[in-house]
A = this chain, B = another copy of it.
Amino acid sequence: MSHPHPDLPAPGPLPEGGLRVVALGGLGEIGRNMTVLEFGGRLLIVDCGVLFPEESQPGVDLILPDFASLEDRMDEIEAVVLTHGHEDHIGGLPFLLRLRPDLPLLGSRLTLALVEAKLREHRITPITLEVAAGSRERLGPFDLEFVAVNHSIPDALAVAIRTPAGLVLHTGDFKMDQLPLDARITDLNSFARLGDEGVDLFLVDSTNAEVPGFIPSEREIGPVLDSVFARSRGRVIVASFASHIHRVQQVIDAAVAHGRKVAFVGRSMVRTMGVARDLGYLRVPEGVLVSMDELSELPDDRAVLVCTGSQGEPMAVLSRIANSDHAIKVGPDDTIILASSLIPGNENAVNRVINGLTRTGAKVIHRGNALVHVSGHASAGELLYVYNIVRPRNVMPVHGEWRHLRANAALARQTGVPEDRIVLAEDGVVVDLVDGVASIVGSVPVGYVYVDGAGVGDISEVALTDRRVLGEEGFISIFVAVDIVEGKVVAGPEIETRGFHEDPDVLKPVRDNVRREVEEALAAGVVDPHQLQQRVRRVVGRWVSQTHRRRPMILPVVVEA
């Protein structure tokens, strides 16, 4: 098993007839999946997703893959293949298409419909090519074959990529539900056929590689929902992911079975379910879907609300209901179902929602107390099947943090893939497939590209470090205007603090210290504002550390009047 190297050099040129693979995202993290393949000077991209920030990246809206290594090569890209319509696979497209609006996008019918709806909000009309399971497309040196896979969104695809260097099979995200609602299982027959042909490099979803055994079928949630609905005397409110069409289908089925009507709440939920319904992926009998206004006219025991906010997002309807900050008030008769996973990092927020709802007396059903969620990714037992069917020559685990990549590598090894044919790489690591052997040959620089408000990439690690300090400790700013000629302070010291202390009077003593320090410095001939600022910083810093044992940010500004 190749081990990661901390100081990989820039790679040499790709050998004639070799295939190069670089992930710009998704390796060493869960999210912003993006893999770049190169053959004969031409590039193919698989997916272009976003990563959602965690608490150490405060105020950031999204994190993009780093496109820097592509910027001079945009014209060499044949196309972007989209395996499915989740944000961590398509969310980066609006930003990639800024660099080249006519990049062709390939994907299944539902995937492209969701991409187009998303891009419309960014006022982009993409060039698309719809593909389906079994489709073959030739794009430059890349001969693509698409394979059906089952996932937590319909119409997902794996992609087999043939080049003269060999056959690459990229699973995308997939699971192995053997009885999915839409009967569209992961096509192991095609995996077997490709395995017989010889898969030279197998890129495999690692998300659940640490999870032992097998994932229950989505179908098993139906009876649970049915029994919850049967026992509910009041409203039923279901929070789920806006993209989970089969989960919502089962909620609708339960609602119909119990004579209830359903309203969708939340922009992304309404948008996705609209697309899904238009294309026939969601089936809703006539008259079941109503508006929120219509729903509020119904007796509670006929109402179902389907909303987002299952991750405790503070502005979502669910959090506002839990905070008693919404027109919908819940009480002991009502039932709330969190029919979703708990994305790591959201535990506190979700816990707050559960406590807020529980406090009202409402019944809260969640994955901790009922089977109302199943994962969308193949677990260890299922991955073993896949490895045994594909019998790959080289394996590169993708889509996961280090713990997941390494667990996936262990599964490959257990099924007989030789240790030295398993490539453990992280973002930016360059893997070449040459003469049937995949190996790490170097790395390209990749970083986090933060989207914050209207800005892309203008928030740096320095700004985030500043935010962390400000968020933990607040700041003290000190303004002083000086007359250098007269050698005196003409305005200020004006001291302001935020996030530091309740009582502004606490700063009075330091005000005199600052004035004295500045006037002494001026008297000693120090007139450089920067030097004066350093002296002010020292005085205030020493005082705050000794008196308060804290380390707020200190911002001294000395200007000449």
CB-based contact A369/B502 at 8 Å: no
Please, what's the 1-or-0 string for A467-480, where 1 marks a CB less than 8 Å from any CB in chain B? 11011111101010
Residues in B with CB closer than 8 Å to A560 are 491
CB-based contact A471/B58 at 8 Å: yes
CB-based contact A354/B403 at 8 Å: yes
Q: How large is the interface on A (under 10, 10 to 19, 20 to 34, 35 or more residues)?
A: 35 or more
Interface residues of A in 432-476 (CB under 8 A from B): 452-455, 458-460, 462-464, 466-468, 470-475
Interface residues of A in 325-373 (CB under 8 A from B): 332, 344-345, 347-348, 351, 354-356, 358-359, 361, 364, 368-369
Residues in B with CB closer than 8 Å to A455 are 501, 548, 550
* A341→B553 CA distance, assembly (Å): 34
A488 to chain B, nearest CB (A): 11
Interface residues of A in 365-393 (CB under 8 A from B): 368-369
A231 contacts B by Cβ under 8 Å? no
* A246→B496 CA distance, assembly (Å): 51
One of B56, B369, B498 near A466 (C-beta < 8 A): B498
Residues in B with CB closer than 8 Å to A463 are 474, 498-502
* A402→B351 CA distance, assembly (Å): 10
Residues in B with CB closer than 8 Å to A227 are none
A75 contacts B by Cβ under 8 Å? no
Give this chain's copy count. Answer: 2
| Majority DSSP secondary structure for residues of A touching B | mixed
A127 contacts B by Cβ under 8 Å? no
A517 contacts B by Cβ under 8 Å? no
One of B347, B501, B553, B555 near A459 (C-beta < 8 A): B501
CB-based contact B481/A470 at 8 Å: no
A residues sitting closer than 8 Å to B (CB atoms) are: 3-4, 28, 54-56, 58-59, 210, 332, 344-345, 347-348, 351, 354-356, 358-359, 361, 364, 368-369, 401-403, 406, 452-455, 458-460, 462-464, 466-468, 470-475, 477, 479, 481, 490-492, 494, 496, 498-503, 506, 547-550, 553, 555, 557, 559-561
Residues in B with CB closer than 8 Å to A361 are 3
The listed residue with most B CB atoms (<10 A of its CB), out of A368, A467, A553, is A467
CB-based contact B59/A474 at 8 Å: yes
Residues in B with CB closer than 8 Å to A347 are 344-345, 347
CB-based contact B561/A401 at 8 Å: no
Residues in B with CB closer than 8 Å to A548 are 453-455
